[in-house]
Every structure is written in C-alpha cells, then in structure tokens.
C-alpha cells in the first residue's frame, strides 16, 4: 500500500476545488492554540547570541532531553530528540531492518500509512494483523503472525485511525512477542495526551531491551510543523540510533527544540487537560450525530479520529467526493488505511467546526 500524503492531498485538492463550503476533517493538524510559553520561547530564542543559532548536540538540547527523561522516568542517555515522531519511527524501522534479524514488519490493519510506506522504502515485507471492528488488537494474533523473520512490530496507541487504546496486557504481550523472536517493538505514542478513559499504558511500563518508544510534541503542543519528537531507546541501541540520526539529519532544528523546552517547563497541566476535555466533548457531539445518521462507529478511547461506516454508503474515494459535494464534509477514505476498512471513513476532529460537521452528516444521511 502507498503512504498517506498523496491520498490526503487528493482529498484536500478535491475539497478546495469544491463549489460549496466544506469542513475539513481530513488532516491531523490541531486547530487549537499552542501554549503561550512556546510562543514566548521562540521570541526569546530569536534574541539570542549567534552561538545559540548554531548546531545543538546531535542528540538534542541537553535541557530538553533532561526534561523528557524526567517526565518519562528514563535515563537521559536513552533519549534522542528527533525531527518529529516521523524521524523517530524512521530510525527505529531502519535499525530494525538492518540488523540481520529478519525483514518482516508486523503492522496492524488498519494502519497509519507511513508505517507501510517506510516498510516499502526500507525493503521490509509488511505482514498485517487485522484488528477487530472496535480497533482491538489481539496479541495472540500477533504471536501467530510472528516468526524468526520478524524484524519489527510497529504499533500506535492511542491509535490513528481507530481511536483504540491498547490495555497494559496487550502491551506486555507485544513486548514478549518481540523478545521471543528477537524483534523490535516500536510503540508510537504520539497521541498519549489524548486518552479519554485513563486506559493508556506506555510501552515504557514494560522493561525490555526490545522496545523502542517514539513520541512527539506535534499533537500535545499543537505544533505539527515544528518537528520535535523523540525516541526512547534501550542502551544497546543508543549508539546506533545516534549514528543514524547524525548521518540522516545531523541534528534537529534548534529554535523549535528551544521553544518546546520552554513550553514543557512552563505550561500548566490545565493546558493539556482543557484540550483533552474539548476533544472529548467533540467526540460526544460527533458520535451523537453518527447515531442520528444511522452510522456504525466505535467511540474513540483516545486520539482524535473517528472511523465510521454508513449503511449503503461505503468509504470509497467516490463517496468521499460525494460527501464533500453534497454534505460539505471532507473525510478520508478508509481504504487509505488498509483493506479491512475499505467500507469506512475516517474523520479527524481537529476543527472548531466538528459540531457543525456532525449536524451536516446527520442531516445528509437522514435525508437519504
């Protein structure tokens, strides 16, 4: 399968060209305010000495790594600051596939398309394990799929696109499968601040030298364009990750790192709690409207996407275009995330017009 962006672009282009008013529920860009301290950090940085405009340490600004290490309760040496979670995942997958421990990559279906795209790019073979309609991943199915050829198991919780949050038992089992087959478990936790049921468990909770945790501030600080993420890496992989990071990017952008550090130090917990509450209320309004529209869906336990399917109206690109033209709502076709969700749509709730979109969908499908 292909990676997300071209599909994403196709939908966005179609929506932009549409005659009427269209509510964008396509992209995963937060629509709310970044923390004030982040803006202040950038302004302060802009006034610094020329020395502060030069290369930071390749592994990231020391103070930022220390802040991350303290928050995640890990050793600072295990923290590598990356160009977003994207680079962190790239490094982890490249390492997993170049250590002569197999070339198979276990992914879920549906999948965040960049994982599939990276698997192709890096010469791995994707093996998909379908989740159930509620997005639950059965670790026994992963164990059945795994073998000595398994290089990587890549998971994402809270999940894009399903909204599932994997329970601790699942995470433990996944780590165990990785250990059994000398694979790396890559646990992408970029939506960890958007956990609505307190069910989220980081893979850090399971001590293992076969798990890499990736994350970023893109969603939690509403700055997908800043590209500040990180990997937390077992000791034996630290040097390999640093070398690959250095030879890929030299280092990550310093103004963005500095601003994130300031934001982490000074942003009160309320900032995160309020955004989480806002999204939770969007989820409620949106899923109420889906009920009114007669749709099938799973209430997301985390993240900010809702997958839904409508009776007699499958999630094809053609129907995505119809929804844009006739309902004024742009979502993503489910097939962009894998075969198992070809009937579904994905809606991103990162728009202040989520409620309006919900009303439009409810009206559109009740009129049909």
Residues at the contact surface with its own copies, assessed by CB under 8 A: 3, 5, 27, 29-34, 39-40, 42-43, 45-47, 50-56, 58, 83-84, 86-87, 90, 114, 117-118, 121, 222-228, 243-244, 246-256, 259
Q: Which is nearer to its own copies, 105 or 259 (CB)?
A: 259
Long-range contacts of 262-265 (CB under 8 A, 24+ apart): 262/37, 262/38, 262/40, 262/41, 262/44, 263/34, 263/35, 263/37, 263/38, 263/41, 263/217, 263/221, 264/64, 264/67, 264/68, 264/71, 264/217, 265/37, 265/67
Q: Which is nearer to its own copies, 189 or 343 (CB)?
A: 189
Q: How far is the CB of 114 from its own copies (least distance, A)?
A: 6
313, 320, 307, 279: which is closest to 12 by C-alpha? 320
Q: Which is nearer to its own copies, 55 or 236 (CB)?
A: 55
Q: How far is the CB of 251 from its own copies (least distance, A)?
A: 7
Q: Which is nearer to its own copies, 133 or 272 (CB)?
A: 272
Q: How far is the CB of 121 from its own copies (least distance, A)?
A: 5
Q: Which is nearer to its own copies, 266 or 326 (CB)?
A: 266
Q: How far is the CB of 247 from its own copies (least distance, A)?
A: 5
Q: How far is the CB of 230 from its own copies (least distance, A)?
A: 14
Q: How far is the CB of 41 from its own copies (least distance, A)?
A: 8
Q: Which is nearer to its own copies, 78 or 224 (CB)?
A: 224
Q: How far is the CB of 276 from its own copies (least distance, A)?
A: 17
Q: Which is nearer to its own copies, 131 or 216 (CB)?
A: 216
């Amino acid at each position: 399968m292909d990676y997300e962006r071209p599909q994403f672009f196709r939908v966005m282009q179609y929506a932009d060209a549409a005659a009427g008013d269209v509510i964008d529920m396509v992209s995963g860009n937060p629509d709310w305010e970044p923390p004030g301290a982040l803006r202040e950090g950038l302004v302060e940085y802009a006034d610094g000495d020329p020395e502060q405009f030069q290369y930071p340490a390749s592994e990231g600004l020391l103070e930022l790594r220390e802040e991350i290490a303290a928050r995640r309760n890990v050793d600072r040496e295990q923290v590598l600051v990356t160009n977003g979670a994207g680079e962190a995942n790239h490094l982890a997958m490249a390492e997993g596939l170049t250590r002569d421990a197999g070339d198979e990559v276990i992914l879920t279906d549906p999948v965040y398309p960049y994982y599939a795209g990276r698997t192709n790019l890096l010469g791995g073979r994707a093996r998909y394990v379908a989740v159930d309609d509620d997005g639950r991943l059965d670790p026994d199915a992963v164990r059945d799929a795994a073998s000595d050829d398994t290089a990587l198991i890549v998971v994402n919780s809270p999940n894009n696109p399903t909204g599932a949050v994997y329970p601790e038992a699942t995470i433990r089992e996944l780590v165990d499968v990785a250990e059994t087959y000398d694979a790396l478990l890559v646990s992408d936790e970029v939506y960890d601040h958007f956990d609505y049921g307190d069910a989220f468990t980081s893979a850090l909770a399971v001590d293992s030298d076969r798990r890499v945790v990736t994350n970023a501030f893109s969603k939690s600080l509403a700055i997908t364009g800043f590209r500040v993420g990180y990997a937390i890496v077992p000791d034996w992989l630290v040097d390999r990750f640093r070398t690959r990071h250095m030879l890929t990017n030299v280092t990550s952008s310093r103004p963005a790192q500095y601003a994130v550090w300031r934001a982490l130090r000074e942003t009160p917990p309320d900032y995160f709690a309020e955004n989480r509450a806002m999204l939770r209320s969007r989820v409620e309004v949106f899923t109420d409207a889906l009920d009114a529209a007669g749709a099938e869906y799973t209430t997301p336990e985390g993240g900010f996407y809702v997958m839904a399917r409508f009776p007699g109206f499958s999630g094809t690109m053609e129907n995505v275009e119809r929804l844009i033209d006739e309902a004024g709502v742009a979502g993503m076709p489910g097939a962009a995330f894998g075969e198992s969700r070809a009937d579904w749509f994905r809606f991103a709730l990162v728009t202040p017009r989520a409620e309006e979109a919900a009303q439009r969908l409810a009206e559109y499908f009740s009129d049909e």
